[in-house]
C-alpha cells in the first residue's frame, strides 16, 4: 500500500475518466451517475445511481470503477446503488450536453417532470441546427435514445430521451 493519501477529490477525478460505453464522450460524473464518494484510508465507498433501470451499461461501469480505483492504490472499494432521488436527465451537465451535441446526439430538454411535452418540443438537429424536425420513434437503439428526423437536412438523428 502506498503512503500517499488518496482524497475524495482524487477519486472524483478518476471517476470523471470513466465513460459511458454507449456514449463514449461523456463520463459517469457528467452524466450524474456518480453521486457520492467517501474515502477512509484505503477504503472508499462510491454511491451510484442507474439512469434507466434496465441499462446494460451499469454492470460494465461498476467493473470500471473498481478497476480504475484499484489502479490508484485503493484496496477496499464498495459500490452502493441509491435510487432516491431517482436519476433524471436534467442532471446531465451543460458541458456534457455540448459534448453530446458534438457527438451527433441531441441532448435532452430540461423538463421538470413533463416528459410527454418535452418529448414533442421542437428538437434542434445536431447535424444542421434546424428545428424543422419530427419525432419518429420514442424508442431507439438504446433505452436512453429516441429517433428523430430532420426535414431540413433529411437525415435521421438520435436524441437522449428526457427522463
Partner 1 sequence: MNNTQNVALIARLFSLADDEFLLGHRDSEWTGHAPLLEEDIAFSNIAQDEMGHALMWYTILHERFDQPAPDRLAFWRAADQFHNATLVELPRGDWAFTIVRQFLFDAYEQARNDWLRRCGYAPIEDAARKLAREEIYHLMHSQGWVLRLGDATEESHRRMQAALDLAWPHALGLFEPPAGDEAFGAKLPEIQAAWRAAVEPRLVQATLTIPGAATAIGGGRLGAHTPHLAELLTDLQKVARLEAPEAVW
Q: Is 135 in the site for partner 1 (CB under 8 A)?
A: no
Q: Is 88 in the site for partner 1 (CB under 8 A)?
A: yes
The whole-angstrom separation of Cα 38 and Cα 23 is: 27
Q: Based on the number of CB atoms within 10 Å of its own CB, is 84 exposed (0-12), middle (13-18) or buried (19 or more)?
A: exposed
Site for partner 1 in 15-54 (CB under 8 A): 50, 52-54
CB 145, min distance to partner 1, A: 9
Cα 39 from chain centroid (whole Å): 23
Nearest to 153 by CA among 124, 128, 135: 128
For residues 90 to 129, the per-residue mask of contacts with partner 1, x marking binding by CB under 8 A and - elsewhere, is: -----------------------x-xx-------------
CB 51, min distance to partner 1, A: 10
Q: Is 5 in the site for partner 1 (CB under 8 A)?
A: no
- As given in the structure block, the three cell numbers for residue 18 are 470513466
CB 118, min distance to partner 1, A: 10
The CA radius of gyration of the chain, in Å to the nearest whole number, is 18
Question: Helices 8-15 and 57-71 sit at what angle, rounded to 10 degrees?
Answer: 130
Given the rule CB under 8 A, which residues bind partner 1? 50, 52-56, 83-88, 113, 115-116, 136-141, 143, 147, 161, 163
Amino acid at each position: 500500500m502506498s503512503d500517499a493519501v488518496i482524497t475524495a477529490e482524487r477519486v472524483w477525478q478518476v471517476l470523471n475518466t470513466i465513460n459511458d460505453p454507449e456514449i463514449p464522450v461523456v463520463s459517469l460524473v457528467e452524466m450524474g451517475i456518480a453521486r457520492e464518494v467517501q474515502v477512509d484510508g484505503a477504503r472508499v465507498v462510491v454511491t451510484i445511481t442507474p439512469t434507466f433501470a434496465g441499462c446494460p451499461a451499469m454492470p460494465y461501469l461498476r467493473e470500471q470503477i473498481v478497476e480504475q480505483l484499484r489502479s490508484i492504490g485503493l484496496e477496499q472499494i464498495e459500490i452502493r446503488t441509491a435510487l432516491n432521488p431517482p436519476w433524471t436527465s436534467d442532471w446531465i451537465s451543460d458541458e456534457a450536453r455540448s459534448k453530446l451535441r458534438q457527438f451527433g446526439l441531441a441532448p435532452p430538454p430540461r423538463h421538470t417532470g413533463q416528459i410527454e411535452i418535452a418529448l414533442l418540443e421542437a428538437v434542434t438537429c445536431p447535424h444542421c441546427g434546424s428545428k424543422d424536425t419530427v419525432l419518429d420513434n420514442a424508442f431507439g437503439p438504446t433505452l436512453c435514445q429516441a429517433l428523430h428526423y430532420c426535414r431540413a437536412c433529411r437525415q435521421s438523428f438520435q436524441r437522449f430521451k428526457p427522463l
